[in-house]
Amino acid sequence: MLTNQQRKPSCWVRRFAPLIQPDGHVLDLAAGAGRHTRLLLDMGFRVTAVDREVAALETFTGPRCTVREIDLESGAAWPLGGGYDGILVTNYLHRPLLPALAPALAPGGIVIYETFAAGNERLGRPSNSDYLLRPGELLEAFAGLTVIAFEQGEVVMPRPAVIQRIAAVAGPLGRLPERVDSAARR
């Protein structure tokens, strides 16, 4: 069962989501229960929320949100088109999808990615190396984009874990977001 802290939007996502073009179209990949879909909608974005189980996402369906039930690990070709102003992925890794993400961005679009990395196996799940990024793997996967920020290491919130995260844009460097203050993280 998820704790209240784990249900809150990621601080990494909250920090970099303001860099998405205003009123932009964002792909929330492996959206789960929709914690980031809700954040993105509240920020005024149009969202395509994708997961293999969409029951929890159906409440978001409306003029600004499309929910798509897709098994991203079926081996089928990339089914989601392109032209996204933002692509968001958290707590999910299916390596065959990585090469499709950057080309699916519109010019100036941003990928915001955060998931578990090697070393997490000593702290809990996931522990299978198939679901843990290798050191620097996101830098390699998005080498064709302009990296705004990259981090890898151990965190304590929302629970102890080893993570890797990147924010990278399809275009030149632009403005940087302000840090999310510590009071907002609680």
Q: What pLDDT, on the 0 to 100 scale, is given for residue 172?
A: 81
pLDDT of residue 186: 39
CB neighbourhood size of 83 (10 A):
11
- First CA to last CA distance, the chain: 19
pLDDT of 2 = 43
The pLDDT assigned to 177 comes to 72
Full-model pTM: 0.90
Return the pLDDT at 185: 41
Residue 4: its pLDDT value, please? 42
Domain residue extents for the chain: 10-173
Alpha helices of the chain — where are they, by DSSP H?
Answer: 4-7, 11-16, 35-42, 98-101, 137-141, 182-185
Number of residues assigned to the chain = 186
Round to whole Å and give the CA distance between 60 and 41.
9
Judge if the upstream peptide bond of residue 103 is cis by omega within 30 degrees of 0: no
For 65, other C-beta atoms within 10 Å of its C-beta total 22
The CATH class given to the 10-173 domain equals alpha beta
pLDDT (tens place) for every residue of the chain, 186 residues total? 444 444 799 999 999 999 999 999 999 999 999 999 999 999 999 999 999 999 999 999 999 999 999 999 999 888 899 999 999 999 999 999 999 999 999 999 999 999 999 989 999 898 988 899 999 999 999 999 999 999 999 999 888 999 999 999 999 876 677 665 544 443
